[in-house]
Amino acid sequence: MSNTGFVLDERFKEHDTGRGHPERPERIGVLLESITEQPGLRKLEPRLATPEEVTLVHDEDHFSRVASTSRLRAYAFDADTPVCARSFETASLAAGGVLALVDAVMAGEVRNGFAFVRPPGHHAETNRAMGFCLFNNVAIGAAYLRKRYGLERILIMDWDVHHGNGTQHAFERDPGVLYMSTHRYPFYPGTGALDETGSRDGEGFTVNVPMVGGFGDAEYLDSFQRIIEPIAMRYEPDFVIISAGFDPHASDPLGGMGVTEQGFAMMARSLLRVADASASGRCVAVLEGGYDLRALRDCSARVLDELRGSSKLAEAPADSPRATPLLDAVKRVQREYWRL
């Protein structure tokens, strides 16, 4: 058994967003040039997600609207979300690529993995494409794990610079999915406030850690050590899914944050500890944002190193005076809902 699987395919370049768009085919191109099958890594083939799989999360009208764009040369769901005639098939392949990796992990063919897919997904709502996203790849993966494999507790950790509104809304009433997010706030899409903690049976199973612009490795490490990892360990997930956006990187043109490659490695390492503790190591990362090509390449490589257990990075410093008041507030929410 290879330790780590990855999904990466030339066909993910076929979603054409037009000239000047940050979510562009070159994002996959730079990964195709740099990530290859090697000891400890196994390349897996993506497949098309079926309509039944996509509609585990999205309603049928949304699926039909996206599918109908395959008859059009160009269309835009909003100013940020243009598509071409190949976008529906590419989005179906992205969701299916995540499911192919999930199946390989559940079958014991690989221990964990990374799905390098596009278009990204975490902004896609049940009935709406938005924010570069057509189908919510991570949410579909979580719903699939519960339906096909009967898993009771899924952790989704979203470290993209933008809050994953679509993922949060998909599971905000469901205690079977713990959604956690670190994100710049206030920022697009406007959701992800500290007091958004879920509703009804899912109250307390949404944990948002809003971050101030400019925060970097120290602040992220502080939030993972004090908030993310303790809550995740208490939840004891059966499977860990990472919405792995690399736009909090210091070089990203959209993010305005200060995270480095080491910071992303640290976050991956923290979540792998959670997966090892309760999920037999089952952990899948799924590409979301990240628009500086060099940073995308380098951060992806560092997270892959963590997944296959070959990184030798030292931990970043834990103390961060800037983060303390914010994270103390999160701790109050944590005590209220988790009685820690």
Could you give the CA distance from residue 131 to residue 111 in angstroms, rounded to a whole number?
Answer: 31
**pLDDT average, residue stretch 87-92:** 98
**Residue among 200, 145, 208, 207 nearest 174 (CA):** 200
Cite the DSSP H helix spans in the chain: 26-34, 51-54, 60-68, 87-106, 137-149, 165-171, 217-223, 229-235, 261-278, 293-307, 324-338
Average pLDDT on 248-252 reads: 98
Tokens found for residue 191: 């959701």
**Are 38 and 144 within 8 A, CB to CB?**
no
Q: How many angstroms separate the Cα of 108 from the Cα of each of 224, 268, 286?
A: 28, 21, 19
Percent of the chain that is helix, strand, coil (3-state, to 5): 40, 20, 40
| Cα–Cα dist 160/171, whole Å | 18
pLDDT of the residue at 214? 96
Report the alpha-carbon distance of residue 210 to residue 263 in Å, rounded.
17
pLDDT, position 38: 87
Question: What tokens were used for 165?
Answer: 């509104």
312 has pLDDT over 90 = no
Instruction: Look at strands 74-76 and 82-84 and give their pairing.
Output: antiparallel
* Of 308, 246, 297, nearest in space to 39 by CA: 308
Report how far residue 136's alpha carbon sits from residue 121's, in angstroms, rounded to the nearest whole number.
4
- Chain segment 192-243, per-residue pLDDT in tens: 999 999 999 999 999 999 999 999 999 999 999 999 999 999 999 999 999 9
The C-alpha atoms of residue 138 and residue 190 are separated, in whole angstroms, by 20
What is the rounded distance in angstroms from the CA atom of residue 89 to the CA atom of residue 93? 6
- The answer to whether residues 297 and 36 touch, using CB atoms and an 8 Å cutoff, is no
The H helix count followed by the E strand count for the chain is 11, 10
Residue 302 has pLDDT above 90, yes or no: yes
Q: Which residues on adjacent β-strands are paired with residue 249?
A: 259
DSSP 14: G
Tokens standing for residue 299? 């951060």
3-state SS, residue 109? coil
pLDDT of residue 313: 41
> Is 237 within 8 Å of 284 (Cβ atoms)?
no
Positions marked active-site: 123
- DSSP conformation letters of 71-94: GSSEEESSTT-EEETTHHHHHHHH
Q: Which two tokens stand for residue 275?
A: 């997966």
pLDDT of residue 110 exceeding 80: yes
Please report the pLDDT score of residue 242 as a whole number.
99
Alpha helices by DSSP H, listed for 174-309, are: 217-223, 229-235, 261-278, 293-307
Mean pLDDT of the chain: 94
Domains along the chain? Answer: 2-338 (3.40.800.20)
Length of the chain: 340
The pTM assigned to this predicted structure is 0.95
Check residue 321 and give its pLDDT.
52
